[in-house]
Structure 1
Amino acid sequence: MIIVIDGINQHKFKDVLDEMFKLRARVFGDRLGWEVNIEDGRERDQFDDLNPAHVVSISDEGDVVGCMRLLQTTGPHMLADVFNSILDGEPPIRSSQVWEATRFCVDTKKLGRGRGKNSVSYVTSEVMIGSFEYAMEAGVKDAVAVIDPVMNRVLQRSGNAPYDYVGTAKPMGKVVAMAALMDCSEERISSIRNYAGIDHDVFLSDEQARNLFDKIETAQMSPANRDHKPLTELETYFVEQMAAAKTEPERQAVLNLIEALSDKFTPEQKTALLQTPRAFAHEA
């Protein structure tokens, strides 16, 4: 599912953005070997400081598995200021109705092959749908993207082929870069949806995204997980129930259930779970 993080709501999702920057470092730095700025395991550049819109895919497990950055072309952007040699001396695109799409990536280690929901293909299409629908809602007519020939082929076979190109392809370090134009239109979105078999609304509300991402953070915070062993389904259930409890009677009901099922846990697990609710109760 997709959450769009921009200058308005980014204060709510600093941890999601942090995971996104880590994903970008793993993909662009480690896997692709691009010459990008990586500090403390996070890939960021000067364009991330301009309040772009980040289209982020979050899995059902609460992991960041894909992203793309959308930036207005009326100010600084990569095609104008980094990849301008592609333009062959022509002036860069400057229009309020054209956005630049960059830093697209997906987590190939957490996603599988094929066309299923947890596949690279599905998340790629989901990010594209979210990006084009968000841009259309903002009145954007076209997107320009700096891509390589491999990504160009991916777009062509996934119902998302560019309708034109700007300038000419140029060697950029280890890759060849080209600037592709794609219209933000109902026809393009429909084509991507048909390819991926996605007919539902891909967007999460801020609240839904926050709750989904918090699921994994809650499990990682639990004293029951301090030894870094995977939580059992029952442990995860109790951690989530306690996190969702709003009143003292609700918290007590979870405690009572833990006691009733005490034979299902080792003494260490039981102690940790009983400490976890008290920590939540103290913070509430």
Structure 2
Amino acid sequence: MIIVIDALNKHLFGSVLEDMFRLRGRVFGGRLGWDVTIEDGKEIDDFDNLDPAYVVGLDDNGNVVSAVRALQTTGPHMLSDVFHAILDGEAPLRSATMWESTRFCVDTQRLTRGKDRNSVSYATCELMIGSLEFARRSGIKDIVTVMDPVMDRVLKRSNNAPYGYVGKTVPMGKVPALAALLDCTEERINNVREFAGIEHDVFLTEEEALKLLIHSKSTAKMPLDTTTATTPANRDHKPLSSLEKYFVEQMRAAKTEEEVKSVLDLIEALSDSFSPEQRQTLRQTPWALANEA
């Protein structure tokens, strides 16, 4: 299941981004040994401060299992500013219809072998489909991606072979790095879908993603005393209201018991304005988040 996180909705998915940065830390700082900065287990660089788009894969329990970053090439990007050795003296690629795709990673520790929904192969192909479809819908015609030779072979095996390469392969940590070109065509997307056997829409809506995350946290952390929270939050399949989203955001930001209590007090103060069903939903939603460890 794929969600897209950008400058407009990142305040709703802070925990997802935290998990994504930790996954990047394990992959690029650990497994690949790239020269990246790791703080508190998270790999974050200057390009993450430019409000890029992140295409993130979640499993059925709301865990981050894959991710990739999309950045415009008209401004600073990794191939021009960090991996310029790959260009071997060539001018950086810059185009309004070309994006740079970097930090493609999959959680090989959480996922299994094979090709089922919980496999590395499935998550990899789902992320490829999601990133290509997101780019295509955004008017992007081509992607340039910096990767290692292993990922290059994965692309070829997945019916997603690059149509060209830029510059040369250079040493980068434990493995070399190279830059490849992919077109965002329907044919390419269909090729990956056929290889993986994925026919359905891979994207979650914002509301579906929030419900999945809230439900996952409430299921994992629900207190044994059910007098305060008898059912998982918000499982009626109705879209979250703007007010519910606000309470979710405030509860995620709460750092102390006093701050949590302030949010709950605000809900109680406003609850008389809602129907019994709405009051039930509003109370369940923050309780699910409040019981997060």
* Contiguous gaps of at least 5 residues in structure 1: 226-234, 253-275
> CA shift at 1:26, angstroms?
1.6
Residue identity opposite 1:172 in structure 2: M
Q: CA deviation at 1:242?
A: 4.6
Whether the 8 Å contact between 2:218 and 2:232 is mirrored in structure 1 is: no
Instruction: Give the AA of the match of 1:149.
Output: P
Percent sequence identity over aligned pairs: 57
Q: Given that residues 218 and 239 in structure 1 are in contact (C-alpha distance below 8 angstroms), is that contact kept between their aligned partners in structure 2?
A: no
Matched, 1:105 2:98: no
1:163 aligns with 2:163: yes
8 Å CA contact 1:98–1:140 kept in 2: the answer is yes
Partner amino acid, structure 2, of 1:109 = Q
TM-score by length of 2: 0.78
Q: Which runs of 5+ in 2 are unaligned?
A: 236-273
Residues 210-249 of structure 1 show CA distances to partners (whole Å, capped at 9, x for unaligned) of 1111222223443349xxxxxxxxx9xx967252389768
Deviation of 1:4 after TM superposition, in Å, equals 0.2
Partner in structure 1 of residue 234 of structure 2: 244
1:39-85 deviation per Cα after TM superposition (whole angstroms, max 9, x unaligned): 11111000011111100001111111100000000000000000011
Instruction: Give the Cα–Cα distance (whole angstroms) in 1 for the partners of residues 48 and 64 of structure 2.
Output: 17
What secondary structure does 2:168 align onto? strand
Measured in 2, the distance between the counterparts of 1:137 and 1:250 equals 35
> Which residue does the alignment assign to 1:280?
287
Q: Once the 2 structures are TM-superposed, how far is the Cα of residue 10 of structure 1 from its aligned partner?
A: 0.9
Contact 2:229 2:287 (8 Å CA) reproduced: no
Alignment-mate amino acid for residue 287 of structure 2: F
Residues 1:16 and 2:16 are matched in the alignment: yes
Based on CA coordinates, which of the two structures has the bigger radius of gyration? 1
Task: Figure out how many residues of one structure are paired with residues of the other and give that number.
Answer: 247
Conservation of the 8 A alpha-carbon contact between 1:99 and 1:143: yes
* Letter matched to residue 29 of structure 1: G
Please tell me whether the aligned partners of residues 58 and 213 of structure 1 are also in contact (alpha carbons under 8 angstroms). no
Which residue of structure 2 aligns with residue 131 of structure 1?
131
Give the secondary-structure state (helix, strand or coil) at the position aligned to 2:55: strand
TM (normalized to structure 1)?
0.81
Q: Secondary structure at the match of 1:210?
A: helix
Deviations 1:94-128 (A, max 9, x none): 10100000001111111111111110000101011
1:207 aligned counterpart, secondary structure: helix
What one-letter code is carried by the residue in structure 2 that aligns with 1:280? W
Q: Distance in 2 between matches of 1:104 and 1:7?
A: 19
Letter in 2 for 1:244: N
Mapped to 2, the partners of 1:239 and 1:112 lie a distance apart of 34
